[in-house]
Amino acid sequence: MKPITSLTSNPYADVRAITLTESDFIEGGLQRVSYLRPGKLFTCHESLPVNTVGLVSKTALQQARAAVIQMIQGG
């Protein structure tokens, strides 16, 4: 199982939402500004995702990890 977060084009007034733009990707990307929502965590088997649309930068990944950890720790 792999942990994943919600990724959407609508921030839903989520104060924890992390904005992802074209510059946050080192490969591929999304067609519009999107929002990673660290408060919406899921698990899925690694065989379920069927497509890869991009690869985020190390900085964006670290920001996402830090946001998830902060949320879990009650921040």
CATH number at residue 40: 2.30.30.110
What is the total count of domains within the chain? 1
Q: Are 22 and 49 in contact (CB under 8 A)?
A: no
Return the DSSP state at 15. T
Task: Using alpha carbons, select from 36, 44, 30 the residue that is nearest to residue 64.
Answer: 36
Host domain of residue 49: 2-72
Q: Are 25 and 56 in contact (CB under 8 A)?
A: yes
Cα separation, 52 vs 69, in Å, equals 24
Task: Tell me the mean pLDDT per 10 residues along the chain, length 75.
Answer: 84 89 94 92 88 91 93 84
Q: State if pTM tops 0.85.
A: no
Three-state DSSP at 59 gives: helix
- What is the structure's pLDDT at 75? 65
- What is the structure's pLDDT at 59? 95
